[in-house]
Amino acid sequence: MFAKVEQIIGAIEAANPQTPEELEQFRIQYLGSKNTIKPLFGEIRNVPNERKKEYGKLVNKAKVTAENKFAELKEKLEAAADEASAQALDLTMPGEPLELGSRHPIATTLNRIVTIFQRMGFAVVEGPEIEDDWHNFTAMNTPEDHPARDMQDTFYLKNSTELLLRTHTSPVQSRVMETQKPPIRIIAPGRVYRNETISARSHAQFHQVEGLYVDEGVSFADMKQTLMYFAQEMFGTPKIRLRPSYFPFTEPSAEMDVWIGMDNEKNYRLSKGTGWLEILGCGMVDPNVLTNCGIDPEKYSGFAFGMGIERQAMRLYDIHDIRLFFENDVRFLKQFASVV
Ligand code: PHE
162-203 pLDDT, tens digit per residue, is 899 999 999 999 999 999 999 999 999 999 999 988 888 889
Confidence check: pLDDT of 22 > 70: yes
pLDDT of residue 151: 67
The overall pTM is greater than 0.75: no
More confident residue, 223 or 143: 223
pLDDT of residue 89: 84
In this structure, the answer to whether residues 130 and 80 fall within a common structural domain is no
Confidence check: pLDDT of 98 > 90: no
Ligand 1 pocket check for 283: Cβ under 6 Å: yes
Ligand 1 pocket check for 174: Cβ under 6 Å: no
Please state, rounded to an integer, the average pLDDT across all residues of the chain.
92
The winner for highest mean pLDDT among 90-104, 146-160, 222-236 is: 222-236
Residue 100 lies in a domain: no
CATH number of residue 236's parent domain: 3.30.930.10
Ligand 1 pocket check for 170: Cβ under 6 Å: yes
d(CA 338, CA 318): 15
Residue 97 lies in a domain: no
Confidence check: pLDDT of 150 > 90: no
In this structure, the answer to whether residues 234 and 305 fall within a common structural domain is yes
Residue 38 lies in a domain: yes
Atom of ligand 1 nearest to the CA of 192: 4
What are the backbone dihedrals phi and psi of residue 147, each rounded to the nearest 5 degrees, phi first? -60, -25
Residue 166 lies in a domain: yes
pLDDT-derived band at 267, boundaries 50, 70, 90:
confident
pLDDT of residue 119: 97
Contacts of 56-61 spanning 24+ positions with Cβ under 8 A: 58/2, 58/5, 58/6, 58/9, 59/5, 61/9
In this structure, the answer to whether residues 243 and 287 fall within a common structural domain is yes
Residue 96 lies in a domain: no
pLDDT of residue 106: 96
In this structure, the answer to whether residues 149 and 246 fall within a common structural domain is yes
Ligand 1 pocket check for 279: Cβ under 6 Å: no
DSSP one-letter code for 156:
B
In this structure, the answer to whether residues 197 and 75 fall within a common structural domain is no
Name every residue whose Cβ is closer than 8 Å to that of residue 301 and which is 6 or more positions away in sequence.
214, 215, 216, 217, 218, 219, 284, 285
Domain that holds residue 64: 2-88
Confidence check: pLDDT of 129 > 70: yes
In this structure, the answer to whether residues 61 and 129 fall within a common structural domain is no
Atom of ligand 1 nearest to the CA of 285: 11
Mean pLDDT throughout 216-231?
Answer: 97
Mean pLDDT throughout 124-147?
Answer: 92
In this structure, the answer to whether residues 168 and 268 fall within a common structural domain is yes
> How far, CA to CA in Å, does 79 sit from each of 85, 89, 194, 335?
10, 16, 64, 47
Residue 274 lies in a domain: yes
Domain count across the chain: 2
Q: Which of 100, 99, 103 is nearest to 325 (CA)?
A: 103
In this structure, the answer to whether residues 139 and 72 fall within a common structural domain is no
More confident residue, 220 or 88: 220
In this structure, the answer to whether residues 204 and 134 fall within a common structural domain is yes
pLDDT of residue 318: 87
Q: Which of 325, 311, 208 is nearest to 267 (CA)?
A: 311
Which residue's alpha carbon is at the smallest distance from atom 2 of ligand 1? 306
Which residue's alpha carbon is at the smallest distance from atom 9 of ligand 1? 305
Residue 99 lies in a domain: no
**Could you tell me the distance, in angstroms and rounded to a whole number, from the CA of residue 145 to the centre of ligand 1?**
18
Last residue within a domain, chosen from 23, 53, 88: 88
Residue 95 lies in a domain: no
In this structure, the answer to whether residues 160 and 261 fall within a common structural domain is yes
In this structure, the answer to whether residues 139 and 14 fall within a common structural domain is no
Ligand 1 pocket check for 304: Cβ under 6 Å: yes
Q: How far is CA 198 from the centre of its chain?
A: 28
Confidence check: pLDDT of 324 > 90: yes
In this structure, the answer to whether residues 123 and 49 fall within a common structural domain is no
Mean pLDDT throughout 79-108?
Answer: 87
Confidence check: pLDDT of 339 > 80: no
More confident residue, 208 or 16: 208
